[in-house]
Structure 1
Amino acid sequence: MTSSDEHRERSFGRAADQMRPIKLTNNVIKTAAGSCLSEFGDTRVLCCATIEEGVPKWRRASHGCGWVTAEYAMLPASTARRSKREYGARKGRSMEIERLIGRSLRSVVRMEKLGEVTVTIDCDVIQADGGTRTASITGAWVALHDALMGLVRDNKLNRLPLTGQVAAISAGIVDGRALLDLDYPEDSHADVDLNLVGTDAGGIVEIQGTGEHSTLSRAQLDELLDMGQAGIERLVAIQNEVTGFRN
């Protein structure tokens, strides 16, 4: 530990392997098929699910399979400096994140059991303090679960077409120290930044890791993955508390 680490206190007085306070609140938007306010410390993302009949044209030859997709955006006041709304020209970052959210959700959905409907999860960042993509994925699963449960209650599906849960967490190397769930001050000057998406069964859906200011050793990667998977286990437990899901 360097002298700078000795004086740097993490937000919420956390240890290196602790997450920020996590809160998932479902049923926050009555007009959505499913909704969740996902709070990772001071990062807040509103996730809303919409179900529409039919699938994209390219999907119509899939013999009754459905589709799950996502859209992601940051509200103008979500950061200290106003973010411009995305109209015609989408930001590359937003497109990359929404594709990640979609891939993550589809990893735990039985598309062949969904029927020819499209479920869209809109993830809107209300307040950003690091980890917006991980908060989006974790909250999006709750919104997706509740939307699909609505189809079951309405007798449009025989059973919930989910194979399990999916959640995500960030980790990184900051000043030579492995940290879990980076807030913005940590993320903005991290030596290594990593996002981990995983399932309740312990499977890894996706790893996004970058050596921002230094290379990453195999030992450091293993440490970050162990730390991240422990975080995902906790997130899955919180999802269960909110939804009562049992696979």
Structure 2
Amino acid sequence: MKQPKNPEALRPIAFECGYTEHPNGSVLVSFGQTKVLCTVMVEEGVPNFLQGSNKGWLTAEYSMLPGATIVRKKRRTISGENDGRTVEIQRFIGRSLRACIDLEALGEYTLLVDCDVLQADGGTRTAAISGAYLALKLAIDDMLEKGLIKDNPLVRNIAAVSVGKINGELILDLCFAEDSRADVDLNVVMDEKGNYIELQGTGEETVYSRDDLDRMLDLAETGIRQILEEQERSFEKNRRSYEKHW
């Protein structure tokens, strides 16, 4: 029988670097039963509004595989358009990742980030950001190795986690069952210095106090620091494996 987790603990998390071969950076990230494949590919050139600026760009896409949820989700190619939730999450991921990179130091390259949810059990957007950041770090490492850029444009490490409140109790890193009955749901993106990049907080047919918010932010910071540590361990493990291979 599955044992319930500590409400103030993360679900088991894992980052599998180099999960697919062709992207400049790829990571399979798992937060409990939520699994997201995050890839970053580098293209020479930038959108029209940045041409001639010697400044790069980063854009993100997010989607769910049809079998990621209990009820099959139609493919975007069939439905013909993104739903509002998908657009919101894509923008959330893109903004968060652009906050951690110096686009001028990147030069005129575009970083294309794709986050595909293989299995959804709550916290897909926060898992996607945490995995996509590591995939971005791998892609930048690849660009440096190939001589496409001279200096590392990453200026901070980032990770994300969800926090909720259920019947007065704070819960870190909510699964779907917890998220669906949460009175308050908060998504937090932070860097390694404790700075906030993005906060998304909503009361579900209720309100929350300033004290509630402060307590949720403290709990989120505790979780994010653990995620940042796991990202770094996975990155260094991948680097050692690469060096050993060659």
Answer whether TM exceeds 0.5 for this pair: yes
Match of 1:76 in 2: 66
Q: Which runs of 5+ in 1 are unaligned?
A: 1-8
Aligned with residue 100 of structure 1, among 92, 98, 121: 92
Residues in 2 aligned to 1:12 and 1:154: alpha-carbon distance in whole angstroms? 47
Q: TM-score, normalised by structure 2?
A: 0.93
Query: Equivalent residue of 1:137, what SS?
Result: helix
Among candidates 33, 37, 41, match of residue 50 of structure 1? 41
Q: Which one of 109, 121, 124 corresponds to residue 117 of structure 1? A: 109
Aligned with residue 64 of structure 1, among 19, 33, 54: 54
Q: Structure 1 residues 235 and 12, CA, compared in 2 at 3 Å: closer, same or farther?
A: farther
- When the two chains are superposed, the root-mean-square deviation of aligned CA atoms in Å is 1.4
Tell me the SS of whatever aligns to 2:182. coil
Q: Shift in Å at residue 159 of structure 1? A: 2.1
1:186 counterpart SS class:
helix
What stretches of structure 2 of length at least 5 have no aligned partner? Answer: 238-246
Partner of 1:5: none
Could you tell me which residue of structure 1 aligns to residue 8 of structure 2? 17
Q: Tell me the distance in 2 between the aligned counterparts of 1:244 and 1:197.
A: 22
Q: Deviations over 1:182-204 (max 9, x none)?
A: 00000011100000001111110
Distance in 2, Cα, partners of 1:59 & 1:17? 44
Q: Give the SS at the match of 2:139.
A: helix
Q: Which residue of 2 aligns with 1:30?
A: 21
Q: How does 1:208-227 map to 2 (within 5 A)?
A: 208-227=200-219
Q: TM-score, normalised by structure 1?
A: 0.92
| Stretches of 4+ aligned residues off by more than 6 angstroms | none
State the secondary structure of the residue aligned to 2:82.
Answer: coil
Contact 1:12-1:20 at 8 Å conserved across structures:
no
Partner of 1:4: none
Residue 12 of structure 1: CA displacement? 4.7
**3-state SS of paired residue (1:244):** helix
Q: What's the offset of the Cα at 1:84?
A: 0.7
Cα deviation, 1:123-144, whole Å, max 9, x if unaligned, reads 0000000000000000001110
Aligned to 1:167: 159
In the alignment, the residues of structure 2 paired with residue 177 and residue 13 of structure 1 have an alpha-carbon distance, to the nearest angstrom, of 15
Distance 1:12 1:30 in 2: 36
AA matched with 2:69 = T
How many residues were matched structurally? Answer: 235
Percent identical across equivalent pairs?
Answer: 43
* d(CA) in 1 for partners of 2:197, 2:139: 22
Maintained 8 Å contact 1:172/1:193: yes
User: Deviation of residue 13 (structure 1)?
Assistant: 2.7
1:43 maps to a residue whose letter is T
- Residue-by-residue CA offset, 1:33-78 (whole Å, 9 max, x unaligned): 10000100000000011111111111225x2010011100000000
